[in-house]
Structure 1
Amino acid sequence: MTAGKSYVPFIDRLTGAGLAVTPLAGVASMPGIGVASDDWGRLGREAQACGWRWVAGWGEDLGAEIRINTCFEQGGAYLLARTTVARIRPVLPSHVPYYPGADRPERHTQDMFGVAFSDHPDVRRWTRHQAWKNSDYPLRRDFPVAGHPPAATAADSQYKFLAAHGSGVYEIPVGPVHAGIIEPGHFRFQAVGETVLNLEAHLGYTHKGIEKIAEGRDAAGLALLAGRISGDATVAHTWAACMAMERAAGIEPPPRAVWLRALMCERERVANHLGDIGAITNDVGFAFGFYQFGRLRETWQRASMAAFGHRFMMDCILPGGVGPDLAPPFIAAMRDEAAALRRQLGKLMPILYDSPSLTNRLLGTGILTPEQAAALGCMGYVGRASGLDFDVRRHAPYPPYDQLPVKTVLHHTGDVNTRVRVRHEEIIAALELIEALLAGLPAGPIRTDWQAPVAECEGIGLVEGWRGEILTYVCFDGDGRIARCFPRDPSWTTWPALEVLIHNNIVPDFPVCNKSVNGSYSGQDL
């Protein structure tokens, strides 16, 4: 992973501003720096001023100290920044004044490690709800995996949602239990008539303890767990976790294995985009689109089942490579399948684009401006529909994408219609990649034997999943088992976007705005 030309000038700027910067060469498979805890806020200010994107933040319990990590990115160059705070009084300046997207990740760190961010604008619980006492911090090493569960967890009825006041303002609570089979999330609206003044989401109801139960697992066990962070992104999350572990262990998967990983990841991208296009049209009563795209997605997933043994290709990626190989008959079948899907889309998408009743509901609805998207660090189709040109496969290419052309899909309007169009164009681009992967699939083995790394070896995996950039950090202990794992799903950045883009839309447009973003509850609720 290259540091890029922007790394050294940024360090020079930090030292020129009076920050004591310690280079951390080779930390977690990317360039790293350490700064004093008192300078943590100034680091955020300088990074924002220099145009670095805030990617992710997470904590680690080192015993007497809590280590705080933040990953930044600029032009495909990634930089890991670190500081430590004393466990007995863990107080740190916040990055939220410079990066609004750091809000909920810092609150997660607050809840899980007990770190107080002194100038954070919002100190409410985020992940904790009422499951633990105020003095309990589940990601500290001395907190048991099972916790100290009470006979019954109190309802989280005291969460102080933001409120709007004035003549005609009323409030609408939605969830956390919904009418459908979707996962739980609470949405609190303030509206006048049908116009939404404010929306605030409260998530965390599907908190699974992923970070905690990752500790102590071997590499194979972590791969299985990663595949269950968010089921619709099982391929991308497992790939990111395996990439992080392989970088920590210094293992290179065979070329055929990484090409098969990419083939699975592109198939996952196509399946989910097909499902989303159908679901978006269904949310405005256009049942034709729902049926047709549901049919295409089902056919596509059945083909994945035939080729790889699982509709979602779950547990197909393993540390050091992949499990199932691709038999020769499926290569020709997948080529034909890609050509057939391209023809189907060529007939179906003009129907959607030319339908007045559909476009009337999608055009100009749920606009996320480029400035808003950049402030929140939105990635994937949400960011690219609002003019943010970033794709890990192009800007920080990893094998096999460093050998393949990845087409740019970029729009600037930022409404629901544009997010549909981005999905459509990304399907077409993915089909071209699938055809290239099938044509160039190398021969050879599909797995390298796993060798556990030495203690404190770290790695970071970065994969362009179908929702966007996935980052996974791992650190090994002395027994070759996981000491710490942190997976960052793109939904951490896109859920806040929903709260912004719904402003001044009508309440009945919330479902289609929500589906056009399609954040993963499970991916955010670690």
Structure 2
Amino acid sequence: MKIPGMAVDFQRLATPVPMGYASVSTTDWLAAALAVRDSGGRLIALWAGALAQGASVCVAYGVADGLVWLELPLAGDQRHYPDLVPFFPAVARMQRAAFELSGIEAGDAKDLRPWLNHGAWPVDYFPLQHSEDATPLPTAGELLDYPFVRVEGDGVHEIAVGPVHAGVIEPGHFRFSVVGEKVLRLEQRLGYTHKGVEARMTQLPPLQAHRLAGRVSGDTTVAFAWAYCMALEAAAECVISPRAASLRALLLERERIANHLGDLGALGNDAAFAFGLAQFSRLREDWLRLSKVVFGHRLMMDCVVPGGVACDVDAAHKGHLTKQCDAVEREVKDLYAIYEAHSGLQDRFLTTGRVAPALAAQLGLTGMSGRASAQAWDLRCDHPAPPYDRLHVKMATQRNGDVAARVAVRFDEVFESLRLIRQILTELPAGEVRSDVCLPDPTSRGAGWVEGWRGEVFVALELAGAGSQHRIRRCHLHDPSWQNWPVLEHAIMGNIVPDFPLINKSFNLSYSGQDL
């Protein structure tokens, strides 16, 4: 592992994709950010922890060689570290959240507004400063008025949407500054679903915490559980069987298709094409029902476990899964032709909510939405873990960066995932589906990095203790929505207010996934 132009000694983590860890100085912390940015690397995640063992702040970057995890220890009572916003704008909200949880602050940061704390605890209380064994329950803090940025000028007025919405969706507040129906600015406030996951992880046995990881964002349960298990298996230097790896990929691709089917229907509905919603909803429901039959759960929750998977497929299951892939492919091809030929849909999709490739690169747009704006990153292609190293995934990309491009990427990914599922089933290796995971003594760390349907899911895990006293010292879980929510604010600018639901759905970001 290396960062271009820097001499940093990395500890290679025992992961199926290349990852390394290093403890760095303040000077190297800044030099690494500059080197990663200038070499075309990406910010993956930032997190901090103020524990009895010592405070530190960590960052993960995606570079040409893989992923690098840098930790900056903070000496004594030091609780500040160099701000990374000048290098990576997407880190701003991560730094704000890290401060509220740990009390560790980015020095010279311009935006110090609260992000996760909506008055649930006092502003001088930092949950991660307390021991894992006895976390006191804080009293509620004062509910403060959030200082939204105001837009001044003739005819400018504000429209406040949320946090409670008309549909059955999670809460988020959107403050539009508009002239007539044209949107000049959008500012989001999220954090309403904060549930204390990172503190709760430290209270769970390491071999059971995958169940909580799989509930961080329910529509991404397979990706989060796999990333956690990859991190745990790396810490334990456990290698899963080829069959288990193939079954994990099977689950992940079914999760990807389920979400794309749902969103393609919803996007049609947001453009007043109810036929699309009806047809894709039917396909998604059939898809989920077969997942329930084969894997025991519609969303395949708790199927990925430490050491492998909790389920297997027999010959009959293979036949059912393959037959469904063939049927869904035929119908989606027909629907794709209908979507492409429908002038009303294309009028709403084309040029709407455009994120140009240059802006996408500057702001760190990632995952499926990034690939629609020419950000050609996909872990299944760039750093393929088994079985992706032999599946030769074809990456779906577009350049226009509008709703139409994000729809096109979804269609392409559905077709590619259907191909992958059939290949996985055809080439499924023999062997066990689960291996024993023996936790090491006394301390260790691992990381997981998985291409979920939205984008890169990342988990950083630190273990401590020995024997029956093994525990999670720190576990950070990262959803790609952290990078993409700020880009949505730019995507709506210059569009009209009625286009916001359509643009928002074309990203379909997770509230829960980033409000840990």
Q: Same fold (TM over 0.5)?
A: yes
| Contact 1:464 1:470 (8 Å CA) reproduced | yes
The residue number in structure 2 matching 1:17 is none
Distance change in 2, residues 1:499/1:9 (3 Å): closer
2:423 paired with 1:433 = no
Corresponding residue of 1:103: 92
SS at match of 1:292: helix
Farther-moved stretch of structure 1 (84-93 vs 37-46): 37-46
Change (3 A) 1:95 1:28: farther
Paired with 1:492 and 1:219, the residues of 2 have a C-alpha distance of 25
The separation in 2 between residues aligned to 1:228 and 1:311, in whole angstroms, is 14
Judge which range, 514-523 or 475-484, deviates more: 475-484
Is there any run of 5+ residues in structure 2 with no aligned partner, and where?
A: none
Q: Does 1:359 align with 2:338?
A: no
Residues 1:331 and 2:321 are matched in the alignment:
no
Deviations 1:37-84 (A, max 9, x none): 355334323332232211111112343631111111123521122212
TM-superposed deviation, 1:87: 5.7
Q: Could you tell me which residue of structure 1 aligns to residue 492 of structure 2? A: 502
CA distance in 2, matches of 1:248, 1:411: 37
Q: Which residue of 2 aligns with 1:488?
A: 478
Q: CA deviation at 1:135?
A: 1.5
Q: Percent identity?
A: 43
Q: Distance in 2 between matches of 1:298 and 1:66?
A: 47
8 A contact 1:28–1:458 mirrored in 2: no
Residue 35 of structure 1: aligned partner: 24
Q: Does 1:11 align with 2:14?
A: no
Provide TM-score, normalisation by structure 1.
0.94
Q: Any residues of structure 2 matched to 1:68-467 within 5 Å, and which?
A: 68-86=57-75, 88-142=77-131, 144-145=134-135, 147-150=137-140, 154-156=142-144, 158-467=145-454
Aligned to 2:99, the other structure's residue is in SS state helix
Which secondary structure state, in structure 1, belongs to the residue aligned with residue 245 of structure 2?
Answer: helix
Structure 1 position 384, deviation (Å): 0.3
Distance (whole Å) between structure 1 residues aligned to residue 27 and residue 96 of structure 2:
19
Name the CA distance, whole Å, in 1 between partners of 2:150 and 2:44: 30
Distance in 1 between residues matched to 2:5 and 2:273, nearest whole Å? 50
- How far, CA to CA, are the matches of 1:513 and 1:468 in structure 2? 18
Give the secondary structure class of the aligned counterpart of 1:219.
Answer: coil
1:375-420 Cα offsets, whole Å, 9 max, x none, are 2222221000000111111111111111211012111000001101
**Deviations 1:492-511, CA, capped at 9 Å, x for gaps:** 11111111111000000000
SS in 2 for 1:290: helix
- TM-score, scaled relative to structure 2: 0.95
**Residue correspondences, number:** 509
Moved more, 453-462 or 296-305: 453-462
The structure-2 alpha-carbon separation of the partners of 1:121 and 1:380, relative to structure 1 and needing over 3 Å to count, comes to: same
CA drift of 1:155 comes to 3.8
Q: 1:302 to 1:146 in 2, by over 3 A?
A: farther
Distance 1:296 1:243 in 2: 31
How large is the RMSD of aligned CA atoms in angstroms? 1.6
Query: Residue 15 of structure 1 corresponds to which residue in structure 2?
Result: none
8 Å CA contact 1:138, 1:147 repeated in 2: no
Instruction: Sort the Cα spacing of 1:27 and 1:403 in 2 relative to 1 into closer, same or farther, 3 A.
Output: closer
Q: Contact (CA 8 Å) 1:470, 1:490: kept in 2 or not?
A: yes
Q: State the distance in 2 between where 1:389 and 1:133 align.
A: 42
Is residue 497 of structure 2 the alignment partner of residue 511 of structure 1?
no
Please list the CA deviations of residues 416-457 of structure 1 after superposition, one character each: whole Å capped at 9, or x if unmatched.
Answer: 011011000000000000000000111111111121222321
